[in-house]
Amino acid sequence: MRIAVPNKGRLHEPTIDLLERAGLHLENGADRKLYADTVDPDVTVLFARAADIPEYVSDGAADLGITGFDQVQEARVDNVSELLDLEFGRCRLVLAAPEDGDIDSVEDLAGKTVATEFPNITEDFFADTGVEPDIVEVSGATELTPHVEMADAIVDITSTGTTLKMNRLAVVDEVLSSSVRLFGRDDVLDEPKIGEVRTALSSVKQAEGKRYLMMNVPRDRLEDVRDVIPGLGGPTIMDIADEDDGESTVAVHAVVDERNVFETITEVKSAGASDILVTEIERLVE
């Protein structure tokens, strides 16, 4: 099975890091290669331009792809399906126009010119609004086109809005919200290995922002401690093997949100817990 991933740019390193944390360690690294084997002999990673990955998957060169949702939408491939939102590489495609111009709404662009690196997404956006501008495809420096009279507005990617502000452009409307997704070709989605990879990646995402709490609790204080632990499905409770009577103290384990750890430790300690240990979680399979 082949997974196509970005070969460079802002999505490359986070994608490789995710694969590594999911247990799909790349052998011999990922630098200056077209492909890499993984510790799983049935899984190979292909490196491609982020914009080309949807076509790789659609045409059968790869079975799974990891790239931005915007790239999948722009490619207009009809035989791939999204399997998982990987929740990084977030950005927006926005419609923007000069701050001091006369474009204040989508309707103002009827008969005007819009420059973009995403002509298909832009065409779909305007088709939904019923407005018909002239869409011009450019290959870079999109934000400059209104200032050199190539376009009246642009559709471009923004993460923080800084580049738009630097070029005196104001957002008129949001065209698309994007993040990195795992997607696969429809004819292979039922194969076991596809499910294994999806579960591995999902388990890493599920573990993010979670911590594992372990503590000892007197049995007669157990209900008090249970009441203050915001665990996933409630805490796990186990007898401590070396207790003299096997009854006085139990071990309590729970998964909690990282943002709740400070408060939870304070509360369980007040409720009678001791020997409290907090650890990170690498993967969490639900």
Residues of 111-143 as b/e, b for ≥16 C-beta within 10 angstroms?
ebbbbbbbbebbbebbeeeebebebbebeeebb
What is the model's pLDDT at position 37?
93
128 in a domain, yes or no?
yes
- Percent pLDDT > 90 in the chain is 85
Q: 202 and 284 in contact (C-beta within 8 Å)?
A: no
At residue 268, the 3 state secondary structure works out as helix
d(CA 237, CA 46): 45
- Percent pLDDT > 70 in the chain is 95
121 in a domain, yes or no?
yes
Q: What is the mean pLDDT of the chain?
A: 93
257 in a domain, yes or no?
yes
What is the model's pLDDT at position 234?
73
Residues 38-58 pLDDT 10s:
999 999 999 999 999 999 999
Pair 133, 153 in one domain: yes
Q: Count of CB atoms within 10 A of residue 246's CB?
A: 12
Q: What is the mean pLDDT of residues 47-76?
A: 97
pLDDT band with cut points at 50, 70 and 90 for residue 235: confident
Q: Single out the residue in 137, 161, 178 at which a domain terminates.
A: 178
102 in a domain, yes or no?
yes
Residues 88-137 pLDDT 10s:
999 999 999 999 999 999 999 999 999 999 999 999 999 999 999 999 99
286 in a domain, yes or no?
no
Residue 243 has pLDDT above 80, yes or no: no
Pair 97, 173 in one domain: yes
What is the model's pLDDT at position 233?
67
Pair 192, 219 in one domain: no
53 in a domain, yes or no?
yes
Q: What is the mean pLDDT of residues 251-279?
A: 94
Amino acid (one-letter) located at 109: L
Pair 172, 37 in one domain: no
Q: What is the mean pLDDT of residues 160-189?
A: 95
Strands 113-116 and 134-137: parallel
d(CA 235, CA 214): 10
Pair 63, 76 in one domain: yes
Pair 123, 226 in one domain: no
Pair 186, 84 in one domain: yes
What is the model's pLDDT at position 27?
87
Output the CA angle 74-76-81, nearest 5 degrees.
Answer: 105
What is the model's pLDDT at position 232?
59
Q: What is the CATH number of the domain that holds 254?
A: 3.30.70.120
Q: How many domains does the chain have?
A: 3
Least confident of 215-219, 230-234, 241-245: 241-245
Which burial class, exposed, middle or buried, applies to 230 when counting CB atoms under 10 A from its CB (0-12, 13-18, 19+)?
middle
pTM of the model: 0.87
What is the model's pLDDT at position 230?
72
Q: What is the mean pLDDT of residues 188-216?
A: 96
Q: How far is CA 28 from the centre of its chain?
A: 26
What is the model's pLDDT at position 31?
66
Question: Where is pLDDT greater, at 239 or 230?
Answer: 239
What is the model's pLDDT at position 248?
85
Pair 99, 162 in one domain: yes
d(CA 272, CA 260): 18
Q: What is the mean pLDDT of residues 17-37?
A: 86
d(CA 249, CA 247): 6
Pair 189, 82 in one domain: yes
Pair 170, 234 in one domain: no
Pair 108, 43 in one domain: no
Residues 136-159 pLDDT 10s:
999 988 999 999 999 999 999 998
Question: Structural domain of residue 272, as residue ranges?
Answer: 209-280
Q: 116 and 154 in contact (C-beta within 8 Å)?
A: yes
What is the model's pLDDT at position 212?
94
Q: What is the CATH number of the domain that holds 112?
A: 3.40.190.10
Pair 16, 57 in one domain: yes
